[in-house]
Amino acid sequence: MIRRTALALAIAALSLGAQGTQPAATLAANVANTHAGDPPTWSKEVAPIMQAKCQVCHQPDAIAPMSLLTYADAKKAATRIKSRVATRRMPPWHLDKTVGIQDYKNDRSLSDEEINTIVAWVEAGAPEGDPKLAPPPVKWPDPSVWQFEERFGAPDLVVKSAPFTRTAKGEDKWFRPMTETGLTEERWVKAIEIKPSLPDGRRVVHHVLTMLAQEEHGVTGLASSATEMGPMSAGLFMEWALGKSGEIFNEDAGKLMLPGAKIGWELHYYAIGREVKDDQVELGVWFYPKGYKPKNRTILTMYNAAAGSQLDIPPGEKTVTQNFYALRAPARIENFQPHMHMRGQAMMMEAVYPNGRREVLSNVDNFQWKWHNNYIFADDAAPLLPKGTTLVFTAWHDNTKENTNNPDPEQWVGWGDRTVDEMAHAWVDVTYLEQEDFDKLVAARAAKKKPVP
C-alpha cells in the first residue's frame, strides 16, 4: 500500500527543486557583490573552476555534449554554462545543501562563490583576460580506460556482457544475459567498475545492473545478518548509470565472490536514431590480496520508497510516496543513490533511531532523470546506525505540465521499466557490523568531535 502524506504539507517541507539553490534576486545580488570591481576572466578565475569541476566530463570523446578545455570552447557555450550552473543542474550534483550530511568523497558541486563567478563572467561578455594567467592544461586520463586503473592497476577480473545490437528506432530494450566469471577460488572484492563502450555504448545504455549468482552454502564468519540470501544467490553486485563509474569499499569491508560465480546482467538500452551493433559492457573487478578477509560484508540493497513497487501518479498531479525499513543489525551506510525517471523530482533518506530521534541523512531535492548520481559518504560522515533503526525513504513525483521533462501530463503513471513509466527506489550499500565493532566506531568518531582542551 502506498503511503501518501498531504501534498500541501509535503511541499511546505520540501519545495521541489528549490532547496540548495540561490533565488534569482539573491543570485543577482551575490554576483554584484562578489565582483563589484573588474569582472572575472576566463584565464584568471573561470578556467581553474572548469578544470576542477567540469573538464573531467567536458572533453573530446567523453560523456558531455561539448568540450570546455579551451577558452574558445567555453566562449561558444557561455550562455548554456550560465543557465546550467545557476540552476545547479551542472555539475551534476543535485543534493540539497541545507539539510543532512554534507561531507562526501565524490562531491563535485560548485560553491555559491564559484557559481557567482561564472555567472558574472558570462554577464560581462565572457572575457578571456590575459592568456598568460591561465593555468596549464590538465592531462586527463583516457575516458575509454578503467578509471580505477591509476589507483589499483589493471583489473584482476574482467567480465563482458554478450553482444547486443540496438536498433536505430523502437521501444526501450532490456537485455539479460548470464556470463561465466571463470573464478575457481574464493576471493574478496575491494573495488568494482562498470564501463560501457565509448562513444556509442554511453549513448544507448541507460543503466546496468549486475547480479552475483553463486552457491552460498557454508559461507561463515560474516557480519551480515540482514543478507538473507538463499543457497543460490542472485544478489546485486553493482549498479551503473550515468554519473557513476564504480565502487571502492572500505578496508574493513568488501564483497565476496565464490568459485563458479556467474554475473547476471540487466542492460537497459534505448534508441538514438541509428544502429549500434554488437555493443558490450565490461565489468572490472579488483580483489584484495589472496588470504585477506575483511571482517564485514557490504550488501548493495534496493530500498523502494513505493511499497511493493506500487506507484499511483494521477494525471496533472504531484505525489509523495514513502516506505520504511528496519535494520536487523548495526550498520554503516556507505552511500545514497536515488533512482527515478522523467517525473522524479526529489528523494530523501532519513533515519529514525530506536529512541525516536529522527534525522535527515541525505536529500536529493533537484533530481535530474538523466543523471543517477551516487552520493558516497566520507569515512568520518557515513551514518553509523544501531540495530533497530528505521530507514525512511520518501519520493516526490511531478506529473504536471510544469515539469519540463514530463512526456505527457495527461497520462496516469505507475511503476515500470520504461523511462516513460516511473520508479522510486534508492541503491544503498550497507555494511553490517558486529556489535563490538559498531561500538568502537561510534566511540572513535565521538572522540574526534571532542574539543581539544
* For the ranges 69-83, 289-303, 362-376, the one whose mean pLDDT is highest: 69-83
Please list, residue by residue across 308-333, b when 16 or more beta carbons sit within 10 angstroms of its beta carbon and e when fewer do. Answer: eeebbbeeeebbbbbbebebebbbbb
**Contact indicator for 366, 109 with CB cutoff of 8 Å:** no
Give burial (CB, 10 Å; 0-12/13-18/19+) of 116. Answer: buried
76 lies in a domain?
yes
98 lies in a domain?
yes
453 lies in a domain?
no
Shared domain for 309 and 346, answered yes or no, is yes
Q: What angle do CA 245, 254, 159 make, to 5 degrees?
A: 50
**What is the domain-level CATH number for residue 167?**
2.60.120.230
140 lies in a domain?
no
Out of 102, 133, 164, a domain closes at: 133
Q: Is the pLDDT of residue 46 over 60?
A: yes
* Domain of 62, in residue numbers: 35-133
Shared domain for 70 and 178, answered yes or no, is no
* pLDDT digit string, tens, across residues 222-240: 333 333 333 345 478 988 8
CA–CA distances in Å: residue 422 to residues 206, 244, 256, 340 = 14, 21, 32, 6
Shared domain for 71 and 190, answered yes or no, is no
Shared domain for 109 and 203, answered yes or no, is no
Out of 133, 168, 203, a domain closes at: 133
* pLDDT digit string, tens, across residues 249-284: 988 889 999 999 999 999 999 888 999 999 999 999
pLDDT band, very low/low/confident/very high, at 25 (cuts 50, 70, 90): very low
Q: Could you give the CA distance from residue 108 to residue 201 in angstroms, rounded to a whole number?
A: 24
Q: Is the pLDDT of residue 406 over 60?
A: yes
* pLDDT digit string, tens, across residues 118-138: 999 999 999 999 999 999 999
Out of 73, 99, 133, a domain closes at: 133
8 lies in a domain?
no
Shared domain for 291 and 387, answered yes or no, is yes
28 lies in a domain?
no
Shared domain for 318 and 171, answered yes or no, is yes
Q: Could you give the CA distance from residue 144 to residue 142 in angstroms, rounded to a whole number?
A: 5
Shared domain for 52 and 98, answered yes or no, is yes
In the block, cell 568459485 appears at 259
Shared domain for 270 and 370, answered yes or no, is yes
pLDDT, residue 449, reads: 80
Domain total of the chain: 2
385 lies in a domain?
yes
pLDDT, residue 217, reads: 57
Shared domain for 172 and 106, answered yes or no, is no
7 lies in a domain?
no
**Contact indicator for 361, 100 with CB cutoff of 8 Å:** yes
| Axis crossing angle, helix 112-123 with helix 78-86, rounded to the nearest 10 | 150
Shared domain for 206 and 248, answered yes or no, is yes
Shared domain for 194 and 75, answered yes or no, is no
Shared domain for 112 and 258, answered yes or no, is no
